[in-house]
Structure 1
Amino acid sequence: TLGLMVGLHSSTGSKLVVIGGILTIAIADAFSDAFGIHFSEESENKHSATEIWQSAISTFFSKLAIALTFIVPLLLLQLSTAVVVSVAWGLSVLAIFSFYVAKGQKAKPWRVITEHLIIALVVIVITHYVGDWIGSTFA
């Protein structure tokens, strides 16, 4: 979601396009991940149909809810400010989830958090420059 937001912002500068992109990716990504969970759980042949559907549905709604939180700054702030706030929010959420993943794996949290934040920042930087290129090439 962050990469999409940054890329759409730098290519179009349009709040409408960024909000439309977030809504589209929120739904598509949530359905895609829910289907992946459904398929994975089903292929393990260890879970009941109810458990499989509960996993898929909870995946869908949790992914959708998180993605939709990125629209709030866009509704309240100017586009450029909203994108910065959303990036900060997204990186914060990623750091928090990474901390809990590290604790669950008994790994050093700072390593897991750093790794995940670096990957996210690389994606954000790349999508910014790709967005700039798209905007200048196809505008």
Structure 2
Amino acid sequence: MRGSIKVGLSFGLTSGIITTLGLMIGLGVGTGLRLAVIGGIITIAVADAFSDALGIHIAEESSKRNNERAIWEATITTFFVKLFVALSFIVPVLLFDLKMALAVSICWGLLLLITFNYFLARSRGDSPIRVIGEHVLIAIVVIILANYVGRMIGIWFG
């Protein structure tokens, strides 16, 4: 796999999981409304995918070692991976009540993150346990923080 594709895949997948889970947990706990969660997922899937793709584009342009094709490969890959990963979280919200959908989404996100990081660690010759542990810990911190922020928003503005 070319490095530019790997950059877009890595960033789009990780951002798609972490950002979407944080948003879902915060909105779900704060409002208790499926519509708010679905609207948030769609909005973040589109707007944040464009934002992340632009960020990767500019970051890749700032590196003198990248050619124009590699820059655009990373940009386009980031956009589509982030878009599709984020949109995949709508499925549990459509199939289950909100509380169950949030639990299923956390499991789905962690499964994606663990699977990707396993292959990433193996490709680099790193310990999968260390790489997975580090990234899952960050995801769990985001989930916990989003939960508390959502609760506070619900209390203060609900």
Provide TM-score, normalisation by structure 2.
0.82
Unmatched tracts of structure 2, length 5 or more: 1-19
Per the TM alignment, residue 31 of structure 1 is displaced from its structure 2 partner at its CA by 1.1
Alignment of 1:45-64 (within 5 A): 45-64=64-83
How many pairs are equivalent?
Answer: 139
Question: Which deviates more from structure 2 when the two are superposed, residues 116-125 or residues 8-17?
Answer: 116-125
Q: 2:98 matched to 1:82?
A: no
Partner of 2:4 in structure 1?
none
Query: 2-side partners of 1:44 and 1:132: how far apart?
Result: 41
Partner of 1:34 in structure 2?
53
Per the TM alignment, residue 70 of structure 1 is displaced from its structure 2 partner at its CA by 0.1
Partner of 2:126 in structure 1?
107
Per the TM alignment, residue 9 of structure 1 is displaced from its structure 2 partner at its CA by 0.5
Q: 2:92 matched to 1:73?
A: yes
How big is the alpha-carbon RMSD for the aligned residues of Structure 1 and Structure 2? 1.3
Per the TM alignment, residue 110 of structure 1 is displaced from its structure 2 partner at its CA by 0.7
Per the TM alignment, residue 127 of structure 1 is displaced from its structure 2 partner at its CA by 0.9
Per the TM alignment, residue 125 of structure 1 is displaced from its structure 2 partner at its CA by 1.0
Partner of 2:147 in structure 1?
128
Query: 2-side partners of 1:48 and 1:115: how far apart?
Result: 32
Q: Which runs of 4+ in 1 moved over 6 A?
A: none
Question: Which deviates more from structure 2 when the two are superposed, residues 37-46 or residues 78-87?
Answer: 37-46
Query: 1-side partners of 2:124 and 2:68: how far apart?
Result: 28
- Identity over the aligned pairs, expressed in percent? 53
